[in-house]
Chain A
Amino acid sequence: MKRLLLLLFLFSLSFAVDETPEWIPIALLAVIAGLGVLIIFYLISYVVEADQMRAMAISEMWQVVITGVMIAGLIGAQALATEFGSGMAKDFGAEDGDTHMDFAIKVTQETVGYQWTTLMDFTNNIVLPMGDLASLSGNCWLFGVAFTYSGCSSINVPFSSASLAARTMAMAILALNSQLVLLNLASRFFFPVLLPLGLFLRTFHVTRGTGGVLIAFAVAFYFVYPLATIITKGMSDEVPLSALGIHYPEPPAINQVGADETWEFSNVYTFEVPAECDPFKTYDYGDGGQVEGFGYTQTQINYLLNENMLDPLLFIFMMGGIFNPALSILMALAVLRPLTRVFGTEVDVSALGKVS
């Protein structure tokens, strides 16, 4: 009864659609084809006097009617998603004319772009220079006697943290890239192709299960997934970072890799490393960076550990890149199983959950 009420509610909304969606003709064709096949079966049942076949044809006829109601319901759902989703997207900064799917894709693209830029800043300003310094060692050779001293190896401690942070950021970007591909998949393939195909297959008894699964996929990933993406992003944006005492990460504007691919802090002609760390001057480390030759390293370590660098990085990448995409896909998958039941079948989507 609840399902019927839901469909009836959506049915009224089907009249709110301004333009006929592309999938409607194919879906209607599916219903007509199904109806034609059932009529033939019904007539044959009279010819061969098979009551069982006739009862089956009548029962299946109801399924055609239900498919018709589903089409109306889906048109209504699309209208609802367009109106409600666009309105909600507008609240979160969407432009006029953006559908919920357009905005979800745009939001994800912007997040990926921002995160990649931040990762590049972090890599070029922190990870690479710090790795350079950490690898610095001093050699002394005289008449066959030599020693090597890795006086800067203690920088490996913050360098490992920086390296781990960079890896985590890259993982977050991979997750967001996958979200972007999945949204495109839903927009280009699931809804315009799988939905009418599912409606067609659902009309016939032998392929009803497949049809139900395809419709459920189309609905879950076209309606629920982008809306979940917008909502999770909106939730993150609703609370300004400053209110949490967090600022956007500001990598130090020193030691950048120049356009000519040379290190600014390395003198390429003499190979003297002018300031960051002198492996022969081990006593420098006890003086808190006040002595000659410890300036840049200390600054980089401070940037990494202070609240303007690590906290915002953790927040932005963990929340925006890992937690939000995981939450969005969980919402879509949570809806998927009940939807398959609504559309006439029941499948185990737990494997898909593991894949996701």
Chain B
Amino acid sequence: MVCADIGWLYSLSLLSLGMTLVVIGVAYALGQLLSNPQFNVWAKTEIFQVFVSFFFVLLVLFLSDSLCHFRYGDLAGLGPAETNPTSASNPYAYAHPSISADDNVINASGKYLANVAYFINTEMRAARSLYGISEEASRYSRTPCMPAATFCLYGTSGYTVRPYSGLSSWVQILGFSLYTDTASYLTVLIQMALLAFVSGGGIMAYLPLAIVLRSLPLMRQLGGGLLAICVALFLIYPALLTMESLFWNPYQMLGDGWSTLADAADSMGRGFTYVTAGAYAETMAAALLLAGALLDIAAIIAVVVSAGFVSAILAIISAASDQWTLTSLHAAIQVSMQASSISFLTATFLLSLNIIAIGASARELGRLLGQEVDLSRLMQVL
């Protein structure tokens, strides 16, 4: 974590400054020795630029250090308690994982992204379960007992029907929803990876390097660009994520629908209530028992066996209290569609905003430091 190693970065930056000053000093000495004014001019110009670079690096490290020590609770406490993401009185406070008031801004940003990922993952599981149950119900078929008056002795003659085959239209809609959710989920994972990379400190290693590069011939633009990217990614990105975590809560946006969504997410294998199938089995059982009473003892034994079979069938297909019904399925699909939109806007739209803001910052700062940084490619990749 960069927060733990920031002192090391200060030392490394000082070392870079010292090394660069030595190189410039050697160049100046060479200029004097060889009576070459070009060396002397270069050395005088670069000595100013080295201190400009060092000043920027110190500023970035100071601000980074501040981010590491800034308590999330101090920021969250600015708003009302009922919307405070860390408050126990807020029913929509983050819980996957919970954000502590003592977390620093960078940790809190990571936990916010984890909460968004959990929200989208729940929506994905819900959409997958609803997809599955819609498909299962749409393929369920039944064959009647024909004719009933002869106790179905003609076997499977009659009609076969799939009463819920119309639910296949939901299968495709939920498939599209699942596709969008997956894209949103991947986007959040990318954001988490980016934040982990930034907060891991890898990118900060560019800062001491930038001091050296900005003073080398032909390398000033590269050094300036690196410095600009560091500032944009390490300062602007976590700051924007923190703001989003404080003022935008997807759980709150979904409101009471969250319990329905969470329930749907855990409903894989719950099954659908086929009321008509249960009634069919009851009819069949009654018919078999009646037939058994009229036939000989061997047949009665067979009927008992059949009745046991029918009971087993009944146990499978009779309605359990938690099975899906058409009404509850439609209600869950409605919530899932809302959650899908919230997931997409929270993950993809806000990420685009963050990347655009980072790109704009890097561009302005890069221009100031001698290199216009174009992050639009990176933005498009993300």
Contacts and interface: CB of A to CB of B under 8 A. Distances in A.
A128 B166 contact: yes
A347 B356 CA distance: 7
A266 interface: yes
Contacts of A129: 166
Interface stretch (A62-70, A183-191, A237-245, A316-324): A183-191
Interface string B345-381: 1001110110111111111110010000000100110
Which secondary structure dominates where chain A touches chain B?
A: helix
B142 interface: yes
Given A167-B173, A209-B363, A260-B275, A174 B341 contact: yes
A116 B144 contact: no
Which secondary structure dominates where chain B touches chain A?
A: helix
Contacts of B145: 270-271
B253 A189 contact: no
Interface string A343-356: 00101110110011
Contacts of A131: 138, 162, 164-169
Interface string A23-67: 000000000000000000000000000000000000000000000
Contacts of B341: 174, 177-178, 180-181
A261 interface: yes
Given A170-B337, A177-B338, A135 B349 contact: no
B364 A141 contact: no
Interface string A133-165: 011111111100010100000000001001110
Interface residues of B, number: 77
Nearest to B278: A268
A142 B154 contact: yes
Contact of B356 (A130, A163, A173, A213): A213
In this complex, the interface size class of chain A, counting residues with CB under 8 Å from chain B, is 35 or more
Interface string A270-291: 1111000001000000000000
A271 B162 CA distance: 12
A263 B163 contact: yes
A210 B167 contact: no
Contacts of B168: 131, 163
B161 interface: yes
A189 B247 contact: yes
Interface in A254-274: 257, 259-263, 266, 268-273
B141 to A, nearest CB: 7
Interface stretch (B13-21, B98-106, B199-207, B326-334): B326-334
A70 B95 CA distance: 40
Given A146-B156, A177-B341, A193 B247 contact: yes
A268 B247 contact: no
A249 interface: no
Contact of B352 (A146, A180, A351): A351
B330 A120 contact: yes
Contact of A273 (B155, B159, B283): B159
Contacts of A257: 326
A104 interface: no
A154 B28 CA distance: 92
Given A137-B159, A139-B160, A166-B169, A214 B247 contact: no
Nearest to A156: B165
B197 to A, nearest CB: 20
B118 interface: no
B157 A130 contact: no
B243 interface: yes
A72 interface: no
Contact of A167 (B172, B325, B356): B172
Contact of B144 (A174, A182, A272, A345): A272
A178 B169 contact: no
B247 A188 contact: yes
Interface in B219-252: 231-232, 236, 243-244, 246-248
Contacts of B173: 166-167, 170-171
B345 A159 contact: no
Contacts of B358: 210
Contact of B236 (A184, A185, A210, A269): A210
Contact of A279 (B159, B177, B253): B159
A197 interface: yes
A100 interface: no
Closest 3 CB pairs of A and B: A271-B144, A131-B166, A209-B360
Given A142-B157, A193-B246, 8 more contacts: A141-B154, A141-B156, A193-B247, A206-B361, A213-B356, A269-B280, A271-B142, A279-B159
11 contacts: A123-B169, A137-B159, A173-B337, A177-B337, A185-B349, A207-B365, A261-B327, A271-B144, A340-B360, A351-B356, A355-B348
Interface of B: 138, 141-146, 148, 154-170, 172-173, 176-177, 180, 231-232, 236, 243-244, 246-248, 253, 273, 275-276, 279-280, 283, 325-327, 330, 334, 337-338, 340-342, 344-345, 348-350, 352-353, 355-365, 368, 376, 379-380
